[in-house]
Amino acid sequence: MLKVFRTLRPYLRGSLWRFLFGVATLILVDLFQLFIPLVVRRAFDALSLGNATSSMLLKLSAIILLLALGVIIARFFWRYLIIGISRKMEMRLRKAFYSHLLTLSPGWFSGHKVGDLMALATNDLDAVRMMAGIGTVAFVDTLFLMITALGMMIYINPRLTMYVIIPLPVLSIIVGFVGRIMFRRFKLVQESFAKMTDFVREVISGIRVVKSYVREETETRRFKEISRDYVHKNLRMVIIQGMFEPLIGLVIGLSFALVLFLGGKRVILATMSMGDFVAFNSYLGLLIWPMIAIGWVINLYQRGKASLTRIMEVFEQKPQITDLPDAKSVEKFWGEIEFRNLTFRYKPELEPVLRNISFHIDAGQFVGITGRTGSGKTTLISLLPRLFDPPDNTIFIDGNDIRRIKLSSLRSAIALVPQDSFLFSTTLMENIKFGNPEAGDDEAIAASRIAQFHKDVKNFPDGYNTLIGERGVTLSGGQKQRLAIARAILLDPPILILDDALSAVDTETEEEILEALKKIRAGKTTLVVSHRISALQEADIVVVLRKGEIAEIGAPQNLLTKAGYYAELYRMQQIQSELNDVQK
């Protein structure tokens, strides 16, 4: 247990004195409860001996009432302090967990499901809080009350107490054995919950696809199977709990039976007063809670330990892409880019995705990148902001190796708009301002006009204050892309990259966007990845990739005069365009 709390110590900082005061009030509650049987003992002895008076009974009743009032007040304070500390610990741990997730590299998330991470941030964190809060309370309360109640029972009748504690070693064996099983089974329960959470999230996010392919019944059956597995693992957990608590109850019942039989004989034989017998039973009643709480504490501890283990496994993950020791910040970027003999593979054992890529981009140039699907276009531009790490001395910006530039500095100079633009479930305006929240509404609207999105906003019920669904589900593909472009334009970065970000936009709108971009981005570097040759006709240079290598490079007009892939693709798209015009 100490090892677990050493792990949680950073998240409990500044809470020591509050915690100690909370423990003190908790012990005070137990002391008040321990005094009550002594008062009752005195009353019963007086009644049985016939020397009780009304004033004495009134006085004893008032003492019991004051002790009960003390219990209420002290209980409020320990709950407020200790439970409050556990809530703050949960908040700090959740914040640290979220912050740590943001430091991890994009490649790590591809191997971990969102549902599992959500389960860690909800159910698992809650289990840790319960262990640190009410679990700690129960542990301290159980330990103190058990020791003091047993002490009072020994004080009243040592021999009778010896008979009562005979079952306790059996209880320890049961607790140790069942606790280990409970730890393993709760971990399986949490993993099953994570699987179910991820399945539901995925289906709801892809509800349009599910309905389009009439897969509602199939997905419902799959959910039933996953849900059945979750219930099955919970039932296995319940079986252990169902065996555990009755066994504790059996131990308690045996103790009461021994007291009733042996203690009752002593009262009959006048070797034990009625007051002692009643007080002894009262202390045995107080001992019941610790004996029952042992199982509860073990349950909370094993659940919390299992959850904390899962959470710490994520904390142990280190970001693959970090600032090197000699990395420096760059105050101003001009936008000159150079690739030198770049060969890149995602893993050492895999084939290279890019081979011997070398070309130079002057600051302020408009550059087109094209090639067949799988030729390495997205990989190439993803290396610029170090979403994946290139080898040393292969990519330079303004003469600086990008691996020697601090990530915050590098990424602040680059705006990347992917084909599948991610939007947040907030307003249109907040989505546009996401990268630059300090920008004014007029600036955001101006960026929206350049992206040809402003005309669409007029048709929304609340204009720029319109709330969009999760991942922008209420917008069309073209609207999502144009909103994402507006978001990047508002940043006004030295380097802007559009990764096939106009694929869902019609040709006419595409031309309007690119023409506006050329005007406002004069003197700033712009890279446009596209399959459409029409989008690249105004580029200063076009890089044609094929199977991870540069097949052609040059001005678009020069490439059209060659019998290469670029010219072939241009002719094919011209024919397709003419066919579309005829069909219209």
Quote the crossing angle between the two packed helices 16-49 and 54-78, to the nearest 10°: 160
Could you please report the per-residue DSSP string of 140-165?
Answer: HHHHHHHHHHHHHHHHH-HHHHHHHT
| 254 and 354 housed in the same domain | no
Q: Would residue 4 count as lying in a domain?
A: no
Under a CB-based contact definition with an 8 Å cutoff, are residues 353 and 344 in contact?
yes
516's CB contacts (< 8 A; 6+ apart) are 450, 452
| 214 and 301 housed in the same domain | yes
| 257 and 116 housed in the same domain | yes
Tokens of 266: 């002593």
What was the pLDDT predicted at 354?
94
What is the number of domains present in the chain? 3
Count of alpha carbons within 13 Å of 85, Cβ hemisphere only?
A: 28
Q: Would residue 57 count as lying in a domain?
A: yes
Q: Would residue 7 count as lying in a domain?
A: no
Q: Which residue has the tokens 């009562």?
A: 164
Dihedral sign for Cα atoms in the order 441, 443, 449, 452: negative
| 305 and 354 housed in the same domain | no
What was the pLDDT predicted at 73?
92
Cα angle 287, 292, 297 (rounded to 5 degrees) comes to 115
Among 437, 465, 492, where does a domain finish? 492
Intervals of the chain under pLDDT 50: none
Q: Given phi > 0 = left and psi -120 to 50 = alpha, else beta, which region is 472? A: left
What was the pLDDT predicted at 391?
92
- Phi then psi dihedrals of residue 165, to 5 deg: -85, 0
Tokens of 10: 């950073």
| 84 and 148 housed in the same domain | yes
| 226 and 345 housed in the same domain | no
| 191 and 109 housed in the same domain | yes
Q: Would residue 10 count as lying in a domain?
A: no
Q: Would residue 462 count as lying in a domain?
A: yes
| 455 and 488 housed in the same domain | yes
What was the pLDDT predicted at 475?
81
Dihedral sign for Cα atoms in the order 555, 556, 562, 568: positive
What was the pLDDT predicted at 20?
84
| 201 and 180 housed in the same domain | yes
Dihedral sign for Cα atoms in the order 228, 231, 236, 239: negative
Q: Would residue 9 count as lying in a domain?
A: no
| 304 and 339 housed in the same domain | no
pLDDT in tens, 389-431: 899 999 999 999 999 999 989 998 999 988 877 888 788 899 8
What was the pLDDT predicted at 338?
95
Range of the domain at 381: 330-413+496-584
Q: Would residue 3 count as lying in a domain?
A: no
CATH number at residue 292: 1.20.1560.10
What was the pLDDT predicted at 527?
94
Q: Would residue 125 count as lying in a domain?
A: yes
Under a CB-based contact definition with an 8 Å cutoff, are residues 359 and 301 in contact?
no
Torsion of CA 338, 341, 347, 351, to 10 degrees: 130
| 91 and 207 housed in the same domain | yes
pLDDT in tens, 276-312: 777 787 777 777 777 667 767 777 787 788 888 888 8
| 178 and 232 housed in the same domain | yes
Among 266, 286, 315, where does a domain finish? 315
pTM reported for the whole predicted model: 0.68
